Amino acid sequence: MCHVIVTCRSMLWTLLSIVVAFAELIAFMSADWLIGKAKTRGGGGGGTGSGTDPEERGGPPEPHHPTLGIYARCIRNPGVQHVPRETLCGPYAENFGEIASGFWQATAIFLAMGIFILCMVALVSVFTMCVQSIMKKSIFNVCGLLQGIAGLFLILGLILYPAGWGCQKAVAYCGHYASAYKPGDCSLGWAFYTAIGGMVLTFICAIFSAQAEIATSSDKVQEEIEEGKNLICLL
């Protein structure tokens, strides 16, 4: 019979595990890792078009900051008529081999492995309210160990990522002063900081899993089970 056990610590661990997995996944897919130096449409010059663009009416050109991710980028719409959006975002690499730097390829591999583990743990964490062990092994302890391994993959990926700032693609966005671990004229985008924050939270989740295990295997929980209760909620 399934005994649904809900404690504050186990619920908090479950929520954090889900949040971390989604945060890392969104950061990985984002193009906002590097924010390039400001550019204006057509290099900032005036135009000879219909006069509807502020630049063509003599107004100040609106600066645009292109962004570059591990495999994606966002640029200003060069004037494609059938695309109404001002910014075009999408992958610049059609396959893994076209990722701009070997370091970024390694980053993609390590981050993907870490995110895959985190997503699996997030999925399993939902069922820990009903199932606390498999083959006499605590799910909390196993998931905590997996989160620690995922955190190591994330660290490796985030350490290698800045080493690729000297690649030709990054130099085109960040200027000639860009080199390994030096972003040149670029600034770091929210995706990079989100990935770092997610990595820190991953290790916090790994530590917190032990507390969740202690809470769900406490004497109070065992007393509730022996009394025949199927739904057990503890603070």
Strands 34-35 and 187-188: antiparallel
* pLDDT at residue 4, as a whole number: 57
| pTM of this structure | 0.80
Neighbouring residues of 110: CB distance < 8 A, sequence distance ≥ 6: 153, 154, 156, 157, 160
**pLDDT tens digits, residue range 177-198?**
999 999 999 999 999 999 999 9
In the chain, the percentage of residues whose pLDDT exceeds 90 is 54
**pLDDT tens digits, residue range 136-145?**
778 888 999 9
Mean predicted confidence (pLDDT) in 172-179: 91
- Model confidence at 73, pLDDT cuts 50, 70, 90, reads very high
CATH of 8-34+99-227, one of 3.40.50.970, 3.40.50.1820, 1.20.140.150, 3.40.50.720: 1.20.140.150
Q: Which residues pair with 90 in a beta bridge?
A: 73
Which has the higher per-residue pLDDT, 229 or 164?
164
**pLDDT tens digits, residue range 80-115?**
555 555 678 889 988 999 999 999 999 999 999 999
**Dihedral angle at the C-alpha atoms of 119, 120, 121, 125, nearest 10 degrees?**
100
Neighbouring residues of 119: CB distance < 8 A, sequence distance ≥ 6: 21, 25
* pLDDT at residue 194, as a whole number: 97
Q: How many CB atoms lie within 10 A of CB 116?
A: 14
